[in-house]
Structure 1
Amino acid sequence: MVDPTTLSDEPLTVDTVEEDVRPDDRVDDARHDLENRLKREYVTSVKEALEEGDKGAVYDLVEPLHPADIADLIELIDNDDRADFAAAISDLMSVEVVAELNDHVREVMMEAMAPEAVAAITELLDTDDAVQLLEDLDEDDQRAIIAELGPETQAAVNSALSYPEETAGRLMNRHVMAVPEHMTVGDLIDYLRDEGDLEHDFHEVFVIDAAHHPVGTCALNWILTSPRNIKLTDVMKRDQTLIPVTMDQEEAALMFQKYALISAAVVDESGRLVGQMTVDDIVHIISEEAGEDALLLSGAGDGDINEPIREAYTARVRWLVANLGTAVVASAIIAFFGAAIEELVALAVLMPIVASIGGNAGTQTMAVAVRAIATNQLTRANTWRIVWRELRVAVLNGATIAVLIGIAAGLLFSPQMGAVIAAAMVINIVFAGLAGVLVPVIFERLDQDPAVASSVFVTMITDSMGFFAFLGLAVAAGLAPL
């Protein structure tokens, strides 16, 4: 708290502020580069101290770091050395450090720590963060840690873990500021000062009825600017967005985005208030889901460099096997036109161009369609309008590319060859556009994640159609025998 009597009459300038900043608040160039990343030399010095078993030196090197930097440092250290590193800086392994850790790294670190040590960290976390910390651990480790928790935290964590993964019940924060509807503004202010749990951030107060159903919300600025004798029911906002406890986290994120929410009440099956979701949770969900969809489109699994090798292998190899199967289809079409390719070398030269451009066109449309489905922009109500739109885009793209490749092939080989590849290009890009939007839609209708397998089937369609159209037109035009 600043004593007003010590302030001078002169206005506070920017220079004054800069002089008051402590050196410790600035980035230490000995540890960070200009992009605020830990320097290789610094990381190497920590690793060397760790290898020499000098825990004191390790602690001294790490102690000045911000918790986020300690989390980065843990991720930069070899997996086999992380347990020893955690032991060397045990009292620096704060809640903030754990919260910043990569999921895979956090799991390994928690398994390496004693259950009572993990429990001590868990007790300091909000319920949603505590659940995120524990949910990926083995059941035995999970039970051992939960057994060390206090009764209240234990009950909250067990309740959250009873809900399916990636639902509002798992992610919600059970620390909710809720008051009965008979209160006045003055009663609420007195309650917040005397009995309210102000250790946890909140953006609004939820007003509930006798059955614990949310009936409205009061923003903090309304409370502070309203007369004390006004009833909450006269100033509260009755129109509120309620999140069912079983709602998928992605759907909840879309609701926050659509209605510009800062926080929202989470209710159980009977409509009772059981928790809240806040915008900081949603930002994390949106980032996580966006990255997940992008990686699923490529078949790269989690796509995390800290993911165990076996899990990465399992996630990626199944899609490579699927790609192998689809590639056989394209190869069969090429084999069918083998005589034509042997007769006219130009076909072999130009074939990859047709397939490549078609694949890129399909990928573009597929990415747009998957994102539109994920954000509820593409629904049953407008599916055919979007299909028609993408078809027109594909025709325009196909015509443009066809003119360019047709002229080039005509000059290099023959006008007839230019016409054939131009027509094949239009056909393939149109089919690519249709496949790019219809395949994700079909998967979504079948209650499958359109981001998971769409790329495999779209690639198969564009490759197969590209080869068939180009080689078939060449044979039909008499350029080569079948």
Structure 2
Amino acid sequence: MAHPRDTDLLDAPDDGVAMDETRGDVSSATDNFDEDNRFRPEFVRKVEDALEAGEDGEVHDLVEPLHPADIADLFELIDEDERPQLATAIAELMTAEVIAELNDHVRELLVEALSAGAAAQIAEQLDTDDAVAMLEDLDEVDQRAILAELDPEDRAPIETALSYPDESAGRLMSREFVAVPGHLTVGDLIDYLRDQRDISTDFYEVFVIDERMRPLGTCQLSWILRTPRTVKLEDVMKRDQTLIPVDLDQEEVGLRFQKYALISAAVIDNDGRLVGQITADDIAHVIAEEAGEDALLLSGAGEGDINEPIREAYSARVRWLIANLGTAVVASLIIAAFGAAIEKLVALAILMPIVASIGGNAGTQTMAVTVRAIATNQLTESNTQRILWREFRVAFLNGVTIAVLIGVAVALLFTPPLGGVIAAAMVINILIAGLAGVLVPVVFDRLDVDPAVASSVFVTMITDSMGFFAFLGLAVASGLVG
């Protein structure tokens, strides 16, 4: 990119050719969708039958009226073995928009099935961020083969983006933006934007920069259109702006967009120079992805993508099941220690799962709230004690409520002393669950370990073990079993 001079306007180079025009905002084939805008099973079967029969022309006719996003959805609905065949049958419809909308795992499968040259042709049509998303999950050998097929002008920005950390602003940003020196007038800028054909067509604000490419401020398009032509940009620009470091995690980028209600934001390198922009449409995907990711990680389900290869899904889930097996053994050892008491009073065996189950649910509730608070920066070192005290009070109220209900029921069904024991155990375990639900995620966060990944196993172990120990210990201490 050239440096700004007295009469120059600066804009970032366009990474590739313009994408094909969208074939409509909504699919014209409305009969193929139900009231919830989902493909009808009959339509999917028609496509699959045509693929099986080798009728590529019929497949093309069925798919041609669809919106690119709907074509991407169709790939997810058909069998994995049929996806490359579908791509071949509708080759001319496989635009950059379709590729960009594909599920990550589906896109990876299709790209691997293509030759390096064919994949490179698709990459050239994509914006930098979409091209990076297409290549980043491929093997290094496949990446290099595809990159080698690209023109140097297209290859350089993609290689630079791939050098940034995974799920960082550098991977997410687009290099198509408009940047200008501040001494130019609004009229100069408007004339330039109208005359140029090789600048970005999708932007919401113009970045004002100095001679070293450092952002000075921004001008929203609405301001530019309503400001007299003679006014200098430096006199109308907004100097207060949110700058995104190129290596900032995408989750933190999403939080900044939410907090400051951003439409777009400048991305800067370590020297403070403008290198890209991130827009709200990119962040919408990130926010949805991160929200779902934390929920799945809490359950130990890995990515939780139904298109994820079976081996990867198995690997992600089984390790947490093995960890849960270890925590279950701890709880079993506690039960074994009170084996004699259980033999004398069978009611203990009937009731103790209730204590552990309710405690586990209470711990999961608190843990989910805590992990979300940490992820959204609502829970920090400055308010940890206050949040801990808050959750302790909530746990106490919950514990007393559940204790009264279970205590009365057990007293009526068995004996009043046993009702008192289980009520006391319930209060203790729910209090412990509340504390564990806060402290375990906070400790992991302080150790720079993702609390969404690691907390569930440990909170479960604590609530199960302490629930059994409290109930059986109180039963022995109270003299219910001699």
TM-score scaled to structure 1, two decimals? 0.93
Cα distance in 2 between the residues matched to 1:189 and 1:336 = 81
1:262-277 matches, cutoff 5 A: 262-277=263-278
C-alpha distance in structure 2 between counterparts of 1:26 and 1:441, whole Å: 47
In structure 2, distance between residues paired with 1:40 and 1:140: 39
Distance 2:445 2:436 in 1: 14
Residue deviations 1:327-367 (CA, integer Å, cap 9, x gap): 00000000000011111111011111100000000000000
Confirm or deny: 8 A CA contact 1:359 1:463 kept in the other structure: yes
- Report the counterpart of residue 379 of structure 1 in structure 2: 380
Deviation at 1:29, TM superposition (A): 5.0
Deviation of residue 269 (structure 1)? 0.6
Are 2:191 and 1:187 equivalent residues in the alignment?
A: no
Per mean C-alpha deviation after superposition, the further-off stretch among 395-404 and 179-188 is 179-188
1:31 is aligned to 32
Larger CA deviation: 216-225 vs 33-42: 33-42
- More deviation, 233-242/180-189: 180-189
Q: CA deviation at 1:114?
A: 2.2
1:100 counterpart = 2:97: no
2:428 paired with 1:433 = no
Counterpart in 2 of 1:142? 143
| Matching residue of 1:360 | 361
Q: Aligned residue for 2:391?
A: 390
Q: Is the 8 A contact 1:27 1:36 kept in 2?
A: no
The 3-state SS of whatever aligns with 1:269 is coil
Bigger RCO of structures 1 and 2 (CA < 8 A, at least 6 apart): 2
Structure 2 CA distance for aligned equivalents of residues 284 and 138 of structure 1: 24
Amino acid at match of 1:348: A
* Farther-moved stretch of structure 1 (46-55 vs 375-384): 46-55
* Contact 2:29 2:65 survives alignment (8 Å): no
Q: 1:7 is matched with which residue?
A: none
In 2, Cα distance between equivalents of 1:327 and 1:66? 50
CA distance in 2, matches of 1:248, 1:395: 37
How big is the shift at 1:28? Answer: 3.4
Alignment of 1:464 onto 2:465: yes
Q: What does residue 18 of structure 2 align with?
A: none
Cα RMSD after superposing both structures: 1.4
What residue is the counterpart of 1:3 in the other structure?
A: none
Deviation at 1:196, TM superposition (A): 6.2
Q: Distance in 2 between matches of 1:305 and 1:25?
A: 26
- Structure 1, unaligned runs of 5 or more: 1-22
One-letter amino acid of the structure 2 residue matched with residue 92 of structure 1 = L
Q: Deviations over 1:2-35 (max 9, x none)?
A: xxxxxxxxxxxxxxxxxxxxx9967535422222
User: Who is 1:166 aligned against?
Assistant: 167
The equivalent of 1:111 in structure 2 is 112
Q: What letter corresponds to residue 401 of structure 2 in structure 1? A: T
2:84 equivalent in structure 1: 83
Whether contact under 8 Å (1:301, 1:316) holds in the other structure is yes
For 2:379, what is the secondary structure of its paired residue? coil
**Equivalent position SS for 1:228:** coil
CA deviations on 1:30-74 (whole Å, 9 max, x unpaired) are: 422222211212211211111122222222222222222211211
Q: 1:208 aligns to what?
A: 209
2:48 alignment partner, SS class: helix
Aligned to 1:455: 456
2:157 partner SS: helix
Cα distance change on mapping 1:90 and 1:284 into 2, 3 Å: same
Aligned to 2:17: none
Tell which deviates more after alignment, 231-240 or 368-377.
231-240
Find the counterpart in structure 2 of residue 476 from structure 1: 477
CA deviation after TM superposition for structure 1 residue 141, in Å: 1.7
Q: Name the residue aligned to 1:219.
A: 220
2:230 maps to a residue whose letter is N
Could you tell me how far apart the structure 2 residues matched to 1:125 and 1:46 are? 27
| Higher mean C-alpha deviation, range 47-56 or range 330-339 | 47-56
- Trace 1:279-290 onto structure 2 (pairs within 5 A): 279-290=280-291
How much does 1:116 deviate?
Answer: 2.2
Name the CA distance, whole Å, in 2 between partners of 1:342 and 1:25: 68
- State the secondary structure of the residue aligned to 1:178: strand
SS of residue in 2 equivalent to 1:380: coil
Question: Which amino acid counterpart does residue 335 of structure 2 have in structure 1?
Answer: I
- In 2, the alpha carbon distance for the partners of 1:317 and 1:96 equals 36
What is the alpha-carbon distance in structure 1 between the residues aligned to residue 66 and residue 184 of structure 2? 47
Matches within 5 A, 1:285-364: 285-364=286-365
Whole-angstrom distance in 2 between the partners of 1:157 and 1:313 = 32
* CA deviation after TM superposition for structure 1 residue 246, in Å: 0.8
In 2: Cα distance, 1:96 partner to 1:387 partner: 47
Distance verdict in 2 for CA 1:276–1:29, change over 3 Å: closer
Deviation string 1:104-148 (CA, Å, 9 cap, x unpaired) is: 011001111222222222112111111111111112221222122
Q: Which amino acid aligns with 2:277?
A: Q
Once residues 25 and 336 of structure 1 are traced to their aligned partners in structure 2, the CA distance between those partners, rounded to angstroms, is: 65
Aligned residues: 459
Contact 2:33 2:39 in 1 (8 A): yes
SS in 2 for 1:424: helix
Tell me the percent identity.
Answer: 72
Kept in 2, the 8 Å contact 1:178–1:207? The answer is yes
Residue 200 (structure 1) shift? 2.5
State how far apart, in whole Å, the 1-side matches of 2:88 and 2:390 are.
59
CA contact (8 A) 1:296 1:451 kept: yes
Q: Which amino acid aligns with 2:49?
A: E
Deviations 1:145-177 (A, max 9, x none): 212222221111011001111111111111111
Change (3 A) 1:385 1:192: same
Corresponding residue of 2:19: none
Matches of 1:230 and 1:28 in 2, distance apart?
A: 50
Q: Residues 403-460 of structure 1: CA distance to partner in whole angstroms, max 9, x if unpaired?
A: 0000000000011011000000000000000000000000000000000010100000
SS, match of residue 276 in structure 2: strand
Structure 2 stretches lacking a partner, 5+ long: 1-23
Q: CA deviation at 1:197?
A: 4.2
- 1:275 partner amino acid: G
- 1:401 CA drift (Å): 0.3
Find the residue that maps to 1:292 and give its secondary structure: helix
What's the secondary structure of 2:32's corresponding residue?
coil
Three-state SS of the structure 2 residue aligned to 1:243 is: strand
Asked if 1:132 corresponds to 2:155, the answer is no
Return the letter of the residue paired with 2:345.
L
Residue 123 of structure 1 corresponds to which residue in structure 2? Answer: 124
Paired with 2:28 and 2:417, the residues of 1 have a C-alpha distance of 66
Distance in 1 of aligned mates of 2:326 and 2:27: 56
In structure 1, distance between residues paired with 2:262 and 2:38 = 33
